[in-house]
């Protein structure tokens, strides 16, 4: 079940398992979650990205169950970021005063995080905005600076990846989702930082494409590959993935990015349903930006 490298012989590829929108709580489907574990153990990857909405209602027992579930995956570095469902909805006092307390207690103390594995730097950005926008997210200017600092000492040939729960570009379908405010600003900054790949969730359906599908860009010779993941373990799929569950598997080599899309079928488990290949542009040989004061990168 392991996807073959698309650049055999060029370099050792970076492989990532990308899951999202687990929604532990009423929408969670245990049999699908078990099938996802089976699929994960048949694949070989260097890191796991979980792009938010681990819970349905940000309750302690849901966070504990989600964390226990994630610990059953193969032991590789894990980047986990919160989604809008990981902050309280009905408990307004906690949403305003300590919206991420349970996430930070039971999942990860870092809301904006960086992990580095051989060949790749991954930056996770907290796109939730519990005090201003419950559903739609926000990425602030200081978070873009945080990403710039993380990539500042990344070797030129390493892969640069950003993950956030909310989407920077709408899915190209009939549901017509709105994007985050100032998404274009973020995309333009990521292009300047030579980000190769953006991973996200929230839409409950998958989209795999390029930022140039939506934004003209200041560098027309390259955009950023965008891979949105549907809901991996809940019954909250939307659009063409209504009542469906999916995950993505990314393979990044020197000159290619491949996103393999998996979907769950009751009789077969998760199987590969499509594969998307993109040319990867060479990174600049000089650092893009000087390192920034760490005090600006708030957690």
Q: What mean pLDDT comes out for the span 72-84?
A: 97
Q: What are phi and psi of 168, to 5 degrees?
A: -85, -15
Q: How confident is the model at residue 173, as a pLDDT? A: 83
Least confident of 8-17, 144-153, 186-195: 8-17
Domain at 14-281: CATH code: 3.60.21.10
Taking CA atoms, 247 is separated from 75, 253, 287, in Å, by 18, 20, 33
Q: How confident is the model at residue 283, as a pLDDT? A: 58
Interval 20-29: pLDDT, tens: 999 999 999 9
- The CA distance from 291 to 102, in Å, is 31
- The domain spans of the chain are 14-281
Q: What are phi and psi of 109, to 5 degrees?
A: -70, -20
- Max avg pLDDT among 85-94, 126-135, 271-280, 290-299: 271-280
- The CA distance from 184 to 217, in Å, is 9
Neighbour count for residue 265 (Cβ, 10 Å): 12
Is the separation of the CB atoms in 47 and 19 below 8 Å? no
Interval 163-221: pLDDT, tens: 999 999 888 888 888 888 899 999 999 999 999 999 999 999 999 999 988 887 667 67
Is the separation of the CB atoms in 218 and 192 below 8 Å? yes
Q: How confident is the model at residue 220, as a pLDDT? A: 66
Residues of the chain with pLDDT > 90: what percent?
74
Q: From start to end of the chain, where are the E strands?
A: 14-19, 47-51, 78-81, 113-117, 120-125, 159-164, 197-200, 207-210, 225-228, 246-252, 256-265, 269-279
pLDDT beyond 60 at 7: no
The dihedral through the CA atoms of 118, 121, 110, 258 has a sign that is negative
* Chain center to CA of 215: 20
Q: How confident is the model at residue 269, as a pLDDT? A: 97
Q: What are phi and psi of 92, to 5 degrees?
A: -65, -40
- The CA distance from 71 to 54, in Å, is 13
Interval 240-291: pLDDT, tens: 999 999 999 999 999 999 999 999 999 999 999 999 999 997 654 344 444 3
Is the separation of the CB atoms in 281 and 221 below 8 Å? yes
3-state SS assignment for residue 18: strand
Q: How confident is the model at residue 1, as a pLDDT? A: 55
Q: What mean pLDDT comes out for the span 124-152?
A: 92
- The CA distance from 169 to 187, in Å, is 9
- The CA distance from 173 to 170, in Å, is 8
Q: How confident is the model at residue 131, as a pLDDT? A: 85
pLDDT band with cut points at 50, 70 and 90 for residue 84: very high
């Amino acid at each position: 079940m392991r996807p073959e490298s698309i650049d055999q012989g060029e370099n050792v590829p970076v492989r990532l398992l990308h899951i999202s929108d687990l929604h532990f709580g009423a929408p969670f489907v245990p049999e699908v979650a078990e099938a996802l574990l089976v699929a994960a153990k048949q694949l070989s990857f260097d890191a796991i990205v979980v792009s938010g909405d681990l819970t349905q209602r940000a309750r302690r027992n849901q966070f504990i169950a989600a964390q226990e579930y994630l610990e059953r995956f193969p032991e590789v570095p894990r980047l986990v970021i919160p989604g809008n469902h990981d902050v309280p909805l009905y408990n307004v006092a906690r949403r305003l005063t300590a919206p991420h307390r349970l996430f930070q207690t039971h999942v990860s103390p870092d809301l904006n995080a960086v992990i580095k594995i051989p060949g790749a730097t991954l930056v996770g950005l907290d796109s939730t905005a519990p005090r201003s926008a419950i559903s739609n997210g926000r990425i602030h200017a200081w978070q873009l600076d945080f990403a710039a600092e993380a990539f500042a000492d990344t070797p030129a040939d390493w892969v640069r990846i950003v993950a956030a729960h909310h989407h920077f570009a709408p899915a190209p379908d009939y549901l017509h989702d709105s994007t985050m405010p100032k998404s274009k600003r973020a995309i333009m900054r990521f292009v300047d930082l030579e980000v190769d790949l953006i991973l996200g969730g929230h839409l409950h359906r998958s989209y795999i494409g390029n930022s140039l599908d939506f934004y003209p860009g200041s560098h027309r010779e390259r955009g950023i590959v965008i891979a949105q993941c549907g809901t991996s373990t809940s019954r909250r799929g939307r659009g063409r993935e209504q009542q469906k569950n999916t995950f993505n598997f990314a393979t990044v080599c020197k000159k290619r990015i491949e996103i393999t899309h998996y979907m769950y079928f009751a009789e077969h488990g998760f199987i590969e349903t499509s594969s998307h290949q993109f040319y990867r542009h060479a990174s600049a040989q000089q650092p893009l930006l000087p390192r920034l004061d760490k005090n600006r990168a708030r957690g």
